[in-house]
A and B are shown apart, each in its own frame.
Chain A
Amino acid sequence: MKAPRRIAITGIGVVSALGSNAVEYLTALGEGRCGIRPLSLFETSGCLSDVGGQAPEPTLTHIARRGRLSRSDRFCIMAASESLVQAGLRPGTDLDGFGISLGCSTAGMLEGERALAEVSDRGWSRAPVRPFLHIPTHTPADAVARFAGIRGPRLSNMTACSSASLAIGLAADLIRNREVKGMVAGGGDALCRLTYSGFNSLRLLSPRPCRPFDSERDGMSLGEGAGILVLEDWDTAVERGAQPQAEFLDYGTSCDAHHMTTPHPDGRGALAAMRQALERSGLRPAEVDYINAHGTGTPTNDAAEIHAITALFKEDLDHVQVSSTKSMVGHLLGGAGGVESVTVVLALRNDLVPPTLGLRRHEGDTAIDFVSSRSRSRRLEVAISNSFGFGGTNTCLVFRRAGGS
């Protein structure tokens, strides 16, 4: 029987409200800078909020027919391009045996909305219909696959806010099962009216930048961008001279089976996902140094996550540090797990625990060590990333420092 494959992360790429690449992102994480500001992408009048984590305009000067790409496509291509450069893989030539797995929730809805508005005003016979092709959420995966010349499996999932995390987990499964030697995985989403007004209709938007875990938190901030990783079979990667940035150990996933838009109050599903992730990784809770929490800033979500973390870590709570980087870039929905996985890899590589901005006094009497206001410097061996979403889905990813044991 063959030994299970180890999985190396050989490249990362990120676009967010904090910049268009990993260097800018890391600098902002270290400085504790907030990228959540008043939006200029579309009109928000009538909503509870007018702020969000709007990313810099995605420019792709080197791509042919870029006019046919949606904003989400562009974010994903930019992040994928950066991750491939870091992994030392040239698009179109070095990706034999690679597949792609992306999680997106809005894809080209921003462009689709504009088209629907035209239909509403001009009628179906006169309005352009091509923008509707951006609506299916597999289109960013198609765009990246075309850009990179990927011929292997092409997976796309839309599992709400767990999408990108699940995409990374599913990618790892394909590598472990020896169906591919590597995967480009993660996710991305552009802001759009559908989700902005939708979360507004659910009264979940905060009027100011969100303050996860704060006792006075009052909702979430939406964001946009993409976070993409190159995952490879460890031995193959090292053989070709790649430098692993971190190791992906395993993941756990569950469903609350409780309510469509509200988490189980005890964090039942979140606890199951984290427990499963650690068990499958062969780790005890005490071995986890950092949790990049889902931490949206809504009263119910944060309370459920605190319950789950407290129940899992028990007496080891003082060892683990917790923060939510959504306080800096907003909630990227389908792309959140991608950007937060990049965050975790950067944290492991740089011994940096990023902060939760706006957290002044945490709720309740939990012993969780929340990292607030300023980043902390600490040697990290193992870090996990939580993503929970609509439909009760929960996913937890486990990463280890490259070369850790």
Chain B
Amino acid sequence: MSRRIVISGAGCLSAAGSRMEDLGRALEAGTGLARAERIELGVGEWLETEVARIPDIDRGAFLPPARRRRMSLLSQNWVVACLQARADAQMTATPDPERAGVVLGTCLGSLENTIKYLDIVHHDGMGLGNPFLFSESVANAPAGHAAIDLDCRGFNVTLTCGAASGLMAVQTAARAIRDGRIDLAFAGGIEEMPAALLVVLARLGAIPARGSPVARRSLAHVSGSRNRAPGEGAACFILETEEGARRRGVEPYAEVLGCAAVSDPHATDIGWSHSVDVWAEMMRRTLEGSGVAPQELDGAMLHACGDPGAERAECEALERVILSEKNRPEDFLLGSPSLVVGQLAGAGAFGVAAAILALKDRQPPGDAGHPPARPASERGPRRQDALHILVNGGSWGGSCSGLLLGRAV
């Protein structure tokens, strides 16, 4: 890479709270934050599942009422995360707006608004659509709002790569800075979890659920849960040139060393890649592109989606490409924020949040997921001085992506 790129600020809204410290504590504890939620489906019909929701937070502290009225909750969450990240990076305004971009990842955008809009049109007619709901149903609405509120006039893209969207957004932002298109980016992911989405996921057998007799009969019969409990959240990172961060006297969280993405054409539309070769190829390419040897890698934030086949493939690939090369594999840090803040939270961007916290604060996250969550007090000896951490991402349909972060020197 000709330009060194660092992550100099972060803002995260998740089930853990609205501050990075909240997230750090939750990841350290390694306890899942999903809570049971009952969804009424009609007279006497209901489903119950678990979801990790953002607690009530005061968005008005960040956004004036006039702006909030023009935004869906999803857009508000993204803009609040961006504003937090900018403050965290010690900026009061966006420097050089023409050279600043927004790169957002989301799997579904504002599905809530889309459903509301279509329900009105279905019942009242095609000519009676609500223009506000329509414009906020467009998946890139949050990125457009962020550009207005943060005055970012450069590169603006909304990636929709399923559950890997947030991670792909960070990759794309890093590439845009490296290629000289912009000097600074607000990059990350968002996701919301409307009840309709939970019902669809439950009925497809993608998340565990129970329900009233009629509702239960509609659930797909699968052996065990195929995915972790879902979560909502927004995670924004400031990516900028190392020189830009240094000029402002900011100590970055981490340096972006490299990334790669591959895909599995044999994965189904509701399945993750089960191919060890595909996961291994992604890890190998990420390491090669970063110039980091497997022996130098200190940890990985796993995708760990909960699907046994996909988890086995991810772990076997890790063993094949990285752990087999290490002298003391037992010291390797393993974490998976999806067990804590929920699957899909931040469209996969929370792996980046967990990795930068581990790199900056030298605080490894809880081993949520691999092996099953253990509190820090029960953990064996772990390296506290991680220098290089790999972040894995994946999506239904078979995409696998990786990002390698290093401690900023």
Contact = CB atoms under 8 A, between A and B. Distances in A.
Interface of A: 43-48, 68, 99-100, 104-105, 109, 113, 116-117, 119-120, 123-126, 129-130, 132-133, 135-139, 141-143, 145-146, 148-160, 166, 170, 173-174, 176-177, 179, 193-194, 196-198, 200-202, 253-261, 268-269, 272, 276, 389-393
10 contacts: A44-B126, A46-B125, A105-B139, A125-B41, A138-B107, A159-B140, A194-B118, A272-B153, A389-B140, A390-B138
Interface in B137-166: 137-141, 143-145, 147-148, 151-162, 165
B129 A201 contact: yes
B126 A43 contact: yes
B160 A151 contact: no
A160 B157 CA distance: 9
Interface stretch (B199-207, B246-254, B292-300, B354-362): B199-207
Contacts of B159: 155-158
Contacts of B144: 255, 260, 390-393
Interface string B346-368: 00000000000000000000000
A129 B107 contact: no
Given A141-B397, A158-B140, A391-B158, 7 more contacts: A124-B215, A156-B159, A160-B138, A200-B126, A200-B127, A276-B181, A392-B156
B139 A158 contact: yes
B181 A253 contact: yes
Interface of A is mostly: mixed
B336 interface: no
A48 B102 CA distance: 35
B227 to A, nearest CB: 14
Given A138-B162, A202-B134, A255 B129 contact: no
Contacts of B158: 157-159, 391
A100 B135 CA distance: 28
A160 B175 contact: no
Interface residues of B, number: 86
B123 interface: yes
A270 to B, nearest CB: 12
B92 to A, nearest CB: 17
Given A124-B199, A154-B399, A255-B156, A45 B125 contact: yes
Given A124-B199, A138-B162, A159 B156 contact: yes
B8 interface: no
Interface of B: 41-42, 45, 47, 70, 97-98, 101-102, 107-109, 111, 114-115, 117-119, 121-123, 125-131, 134-135, 137-141, 143-145, 147-148, 151-162, 165, 168, 172, 175-176, 178-179, 181, 196, 199-200, 203-204, 214-215, 217-218, 260-266, 269-270, 278, 281, 289, 395, 397-399, 401
Closest 7 A/B residue pairs (Cβ): A46-B127, A391-B144, A198-B134, A201-B129, A142-B397, A255-B156, A153-B261
Contacts of B289: 179
A14 B134 CA distance: 28
A160 B218 contact: no
Contacts of A390: 135, 138, 140-141, 144
Contacts of A276: 181
A255 B126 contact: no
A254 B269 contact: no
Residue of B109, B126, B155 contacting most chain A CB atoms (<10 Å): B126
Nearest to B215: A125
A132 B200 CA distance: 8
A196 B121 CA distance: 11
Contact of B179 (A46, A145, A156, A173): A173
Contacts of A255: 101-102, 144, 147, 152-156
